[in-house]
Chain A
Amino acid sequence: QKEVEQNSGPLSVPEGAIASLNCTYSDRGSQSFFWYRQYSGKSPELIMSIYSNGDKEDGRFTAQLNKASQYVSLLIRDSQPSDSATYLCAVNKLTGGGNKLTFGTGTQLKVEL
């Protein structure tokens, strides 16, 4: 079982719709959860972080965390063509060597006109 799992997609949604991206993780000791957006050929950009169960909203983005189910999701409302990118889920655990992030392989999102 992979430590962080995401559906690779592509996930296609029409412009203006809600895009829902999902991620599951295996380590119950994980403490912090992140969503990064990565455009083709570019480096990842942090768009959301969430540390406790429930929802966290920032503009058109909402992150949802359910530690009991080991599940984290990202909702993008009013999707725009500029949202077309790969979205990486990352999970943090504090170890003896410090904080370490484990990444999923990403979900490709395509927002269609």
Chain B
Amino acid sequence: DGGITQSPKYLFRKEGQNVTLSCEQNLNHDAMYWYRQDPGQGLRLIYYSQIVNDFQKGDIAEGYSVSREKKESFPLTVTSAQKNPTAFYLCASSTPLSGSGYEQYFGPGTRLTVT
């Protein structure tokens, strides 16, 4: 089956610990994205990557890091520097369509709770 997988679905960590969230896609999409979603705030872009070995900061990159060593994988590390890490984390990927089209698809998400 083609799609985007994120693991684990739920993750619990103690404050001060770094944690890495997994995102894998087998859609052969070039671009991948990380968002976080908090209640009532919609989705906010953390990092994105258009090609392997290249990535850009989004709107709320502080306290996060990413890598893009393979086209299929875009892991996100939530560091201890992130002040409010508890959130729903969503990975997405996209591919250009014919003409100027473009569509972005989401994985199932990881719900991170830090106490």
A residues in contact (CB < 8 Å) with B: 8, 31-32, 34, 36, 42-46, 49, 51, 88, 90, 92, 97-106
CB <8 Å contact, B101 and A101 = no
Query: How many angstroms from the CA of A44 to the CA of B92 in the assembled complex?
Result: 10
Considering the complex, give the chain B residue whose CB is closest to the CB of A105: B42
Most buried by A among B41, B50, B99, B103: B103
CB <8 Å contact, B104 and A101 = yes
Rounded to whole Å, the gap between the CB of A44 and the closest CB of chain B is: 5
Q: Which of A46, A49, A102 contacts B101 (CB 8 A)?
A: A49
Segment with Cβ contacts to A, from B14-22, B75-83, B106-114: B106-114
CB <8 Å contact, B50 and A105 = no
Q: Which of A31, A88, A98 contacts B50 (CB 8 A)?
A: A98
Given A36-B106, A97-B50, 9 other A-B residues pairs in contact with their CB atoms under 8 A: A34-B104, A42-B109, A43-B90, A44-B43, A46-B104, A46-B105, A88-B43, A90-B104, A106-B42
Contact code string B28-43 (vs A, CB < 8 Å = 1, else 0): 0001010000001111
CB <8 Å contact, A88 and B31 = no
Considering the complex, give the chain A residue whose CB is closest to the CB of B50: A98
Rank and list the top 4 A-B pairs by shortest CB-CB distance, nearest first.
A98-B50, A105-B42, A97-B56, A103-B43
A-B contact pairs, 9 of them (CB 8 A): A36-B106, A43-B106, A43-B107, A45-B106, A46-B105, A51-B100, A92-B102, A100-B45, A102-B45
CB <8 Å contact, B102 and A99 = yes
Taking CB atoms, residues of chain A closer than 8 Å to B48 are: 97-98, 100
Taking CB atoms, residues of chain A closer than 8 Å to B43 are: 44, 88, 101, 103
Taking CB atoms, residues of chain B closer than 8 Å to A100 are: 45, 48, 58
Most buried by B among A32, A34, A98, A106: A98
Rounded to whole Å, the gap between the CB of A104 and the closest CB of chain B is: 6
Query: How many angstroms from the CA of A106 to the CA of B43 in the assembled complex?
Result: 9
Query: How many angstroms from the CA of A8 to the CA of B105 in the assembled complex?
Result: 23
Query: How many angstroms from the CA of A38 to the CA of B9 in the assembled complex?
Result: 17
